[in-house]
Amino acid sequence: MTLSLPRQFPDEIAALRDIALDLRWTWSHETDALWKLIDAATWQETGNPWAVLQNLRPARISELISDRVFRDELQRLSAARQAYSNAAGWFASTSGRGVLAGVAYFSMEFGLHEALPLYAGGLGILAGDFLKTASDLGVPVIGIGLLYRQGYFRQLIDAQGWQQESYPLNDAGSMPIAPACGQDGAPLEIRLRLPGRDLILRVWQAQVGRTSLLLLDSDHQLNSPGDRAITGRLYAGGDEARLLQELVLGIAGWRLVEAVAPRTEICHLNEGHAAFVVIERALAFRRRTGISFRAALWATRAGNIFTTHTPVEAGFDRFAPELVAAYARYAAGIIEDSEVSLDELLALGRANANDAKEPFNMAYLAQRGAARTIGVSQQHQAVSRRTFQPLFPHWPKLEVPVGHITNGVHVPSWDSADADRLWTAACGKERWRCAPDQLAEQIAALDDTALWSMRASGRQALTFAARRRLRRQFGVRGALPEAVDTASQVLDPDILTLGFARRFAEYKRPNLLLHDPDRLRRLLTNRSRPVQLIVAGKAHPADDAGKRMIREWILLAQETELRRNLVFLEDYDLVLAQELVQGVDVWINTPRHPWEACGTSGMKVLVNGGINLSVLDGWWEEAYEPSVGWAVGDKEPLDDATRDRRDAQVLYERLENEVIPEFYDRDVEAMPRRWLQRIRASLARLTPAYSSTRMLQEHLEKLYLPAACEYRRRSAGGAAAAAVMAAWEQRLRQGWPRLHIGEPNVMREGARWRFTVPVYRGDILPEDIRVELYAEPHANSATAAIEMQRSGPIAGSLNSELYCGVSDAARPADHYTVRVIPAFSGVNAAAELPLIAWQK
């Protein structure tokens, strides 16, 4: 694949174009001084090298060409970029290049930088961090997404304090992307058949260091006006518009993968939006090999990974089955394939495969089509097991096949310049491009002066940035000049700074601090121990309750006594998020337990010496200990109103009695020693543990490498192993209703129980099943699943055997129940064939 670039530059400075189109500049700041030198005003306003180049005047280009010092610096930076791109990277140097042919990472949104605004929130930020980390570690990943011409909305706060939305056009020519071209040099296009027409999709490429992000774009001149708008807005309104986006992402997305990276082994679905890739990948495999669709699903499923982020089942995308049928038969190409049943495909998205009226659930399709499903924190794993329980009737909740890998953040994208210098001095430049094993010891050795200096500079930078934003914010509202000037007096770079920035949704409880406004006023205006609070966040355009919560903060911030200590910054985006996490002393997060799947915002303050004060949910539930931050809440079951009152009370108490006193407890050198000890502990213990370096390494070890190995095994030799698995599945589904378990006989043998049980298997072969003694966890006893052994046939009965098993008699015999599950080498029965039979 090659690139057709939209603007050419003279040979002397042609390298500028390549550097600007490589989004590595979003986290490696070695070229910042270069862009500032070229056009300081544009760089200050946009932080976007591509915008700098697009706005260059011919006269300025001539000046740069004639500047020898500039050309030498450009050559040095170009060489450094090439060295990074050509280096093997941690993954290849530790694992070898042949162990993983490629990963295609599908996501509805990607948050890399405001220069490429293709995200709405945390899901997209995670996807962007994932690609950046893959680049740093040298993991062969490509991202697959959509190019939105409007994307998500920009927030404006009007004079009355209400959120207003605008949708500025994303001009492809002003974004750091380029058209992707095929081997013949022509622009690459992907076609998707829809009822009565073909949809033509252009492909754009964003270079992300060593990785690429490929974006599908329906705004093609040969498409109808309605079809050109399919990729118009992120999360388009209406079921049909949303379905079309997800068909494009999943089906056209996989066709794109096969066009540019046909050896890809791992297909990773970041949420269920791209779940149609499960169907398209299996159908493409079937067309290539000639095997049945069911066998093709067995082969390809081994290489599919599904990450669910949704904390509640209501958050899954669902579509009317007739709507899915109307489009899928064309888009998936099964209208020409008489061997594939549309009903069979639709059944993959239903809990009850036989209920033709049940809505088609994209998360169910993703789960059924992936051999491995994970949540994004330990707590979210437990929540997701409850959520997906309908797909696994009669299976214990603890065995619902959902694992977890806790999210992490791409630290170089979130650290300040001062934090970066501090970490580099302590840990070296390569610290996030390899296993972060030694970082805790190195950072723990930092002295107090260096830590406090870093925090002071971060707080000061945030204060100045907030003032600039407020001046612009007040000016756009039409405020009087004297009111605009007051923005220059808000905040103080020397006092305790709290930050709260989230999506304004009811379950995130962004107004928990407003539960007692008078108490908050007293806290913020205390003369001896002053505190300031910066708030930011958007509400969904249709969420009136969220907009009202924003307005509450706006009105409070307008009160005369609070104007210096409380600000609401509009249009929460990546740039503002970076400013906040680099500057705040304490990050506050107040979701209602257990609705926070993970929540990565608090992870981003870690590298900058910020400390978390959060509800024990998501990542903080597993990260928290008293030496690294503060916690709010417990797991006692309470109604929402009672829970909110209790958590608000604890939040105020933590601030008043612990956070604020510790920050202002200074020694004779005016240093807050206990606070600095807490910063050091948080930096050393949590930053490496919640970095995306650790996260991606876990993906490789637990998911990608074993999945690639199994995919190769199943697909080898014309997918012979997958065909055998498909036949085994058919055999078990047909025979399972006739399988039953008799009454067990239990005898005490010293310190053991011996169980003997008859199993009547009907037409099922004995090697197709596993008989177990099962006991749920109880008191100090863990879950038990003890395999029972065949001891011989049952006299006078066909296709039946006695099975024997023993257990520790320290546990009562009535804790155990006999069960039968499918058994096949290399198959995770719970995930891929969730049949189960229990002793009556």
CATH of the domain at 120: 3.40.50.2000
Residue 695 lies in a domain: no
Alpha-carbon distance of 686 to 440, in angstroms, equals 9
The model's confidence at residue 183, banded by pLDDT at 50, 70 and 90, is confident
625 and 762 in a single domain? The answer is no
Whether the CA torsion 567, 572, 576, 581 is positive or negative: it is positive
Q: What is the mean pLDDT of residues 542-570?
A: 95
Residue 832: CATH number of its domain:
2.60.40
Alpha-carbon distance of 684 to 351, in angstroms, equals 45
Q: Work out the burial of residue 441: count CB atoms within 10 Å of its CB; fewer than 13 is exposed, 13-18 middle, 19 or more buried.
A: exposed
User: For residue 45, what pLDDT is reported?
Assistant: 86
User: For residue 720, what pLDDT is reported?
Assistant: 97
The model's confidence at residue 335, banded by pLDDT at 50, 70 and 90, is low
Q: Check whether 3 has a pLDDT greater than 50.
A: no
Q: What is the mean pLDDT of residues 6-13?
A: 76
Q: Per residue in 615-632, pLDDT tens?
A: 999 999 999 999 999 999
Going by the DSSP 8-state scheme, the letter that residue 558 receives in this structure is T
DSSP of 315-344, one letter per residue? GS-EE-HHHHHHHHHHHTSGGG-TTS-HHH
Of 178-187, 249-258, 302-311, 510-519, the poorest mean pLDDT is in 178-187
The model's confidence at residue 11, banded by pLDDT at 50, 70 and 90, is confident
Q: Strands (DSSP E) along 524-640, which ranges? A: 531-536, 566-569, 586-589, 611-615, 629-632
Q: Per residue in 28-49, pLDDT tens?
A: 989 999 999 999 999 988 889 9
User: For residue 46, what pLDDT is reported?
Assistant: 87
User: For residue 338, what pLDDT is reported?
Assistant: 66
269 and 370 in a single domain? The answer is yes
DSSP of 504-524, one letter per residue? --GGG-TTGGGSSHHHHHHHH
Q: Check whether 669 has a pLDDT greater than 60.
A: yes
User: For residue 840, what pLDDT is reported?
Assistant: 84
Stronger pLDDT, 9 or 251, i.e. the higher one: 251
Indicate the residue among 29, 57, 86 that finishes a domain: 86
109 and 49 in a single domain? The answer is no
Going by the DSSP 8-state scheme, the letter that residue 11 receives in this structure is G
Q: Per residue in 735-760, pLDDT tens?
A: 999 999 999 999 999 999 999 999 99
Secondary structure of 380-393 as H, E, C letters: HHHHHHHHCHHHCC
362 and 301 in a single domain? The answer is yes
78 and 182 in a single domain? The answer is no
User: For residue 5, what pLDDT is reported?
Assistant: 43
Residue 456 lies in a domain: no
User: For residue 515, what pLDDT is reported?
Assistant: 96
Rounded to the nearest integer, the mean pLDDT of the chain is 93
191 and 113 in a single domain? The answer is yes
345 and 257 in a single domain? The answer is yes
Alpha-carbon distance of 281 to 358, in angstroms, equals 24
Q: Per residue in 451-481, pLDDT tens?
A: 999 999 999 999 999 999 999 998 888 888 8
If you count DSSP H runs as helices and E runs as strands, how many of each does the chain have, helices first? 33, 32
State percent of the chain over pLDDT 70.
99
The model's confidence at residue 1, banded by pLDDT at 50, 70 and 90, is very low
Residue 475 lies in a domain: no
162 and 76 in a single domain? The answer is no
Q: Check whether 6 has a pLDDT greater than 50.
A: no
Residue 418 lies in a domain: no
Residue 311 lies in a domain: yes
User: For residue 2, what pLDDT is reported?
Assistant: 44
Q: Check whether 638 has a pLDDT greater than 70.
A: yes
Of 433-447, 456-470, 521-535, 575-589, the poorest mean pLDDT is in 433-447
Closest to 566 (Cα-Cα) out of 589, 588, 534, 538: 534
Indicate the residue among 86, 110, 140 that finishes a domain: 86
Into how many domains does the chain fold?
4
Residue 812 lies in a domain: yes
74 and 96 in a single domain? The answer is no
Q: Per residue in 294-310, pLDDT tens?
A: 999 999 999 999 999 99
501 and 593 in a single domain? The answer is yes
Q: Check whether 121 has a pLDDT greater than 80.
A: yes
Range of the domain at 798: 739-838
Residue 438 lies in a domain: no
User: For residue 4, what pLDDT is reported?
Assistant: 40
Q: Per residue in 764-773, pLDDT tens?
A: 999 999 999 9
Q: Per residue in 490-512, pLDDT tens?
A: 999 999 999 999 999 999 999 99
Indicate the residue among 64, 86, 108 that finishes a domain: 86
Alpha-carbon distance of 230 to 236, in angstroms, equals 8
681 and 759 in a single domain? The answer is no
468-to-479, 502, 646, 678, 695 alpha-carbon distances in Å:
15, 21, 37, 31, 36
User: For residue 298, what pLDDT is reported?
Assistant: 98
Tokens 């006739």 sit at which residue? 738
Residue 461 lies in a domain: no
Look up the pTM and report it.
0.95
Pairing of strands 197-208, 2-3: unpaired
194 and 321 in a single domain? The answer is yes
What are the CB-based long-range contacts (under 8 Å, 24+) for 255-259?
A: 255/190, 255/192, 255/280, 255/284, 256/144, 256/188, 256/190, 256/203, 256/214, 256/216, 257/104, 257/142, 257/144, 258/284, 259/182, 259/188, 259/190
180-to-189, 249, 256, 478 alpha-carbon distances in Å:
9, 17, 11, 44
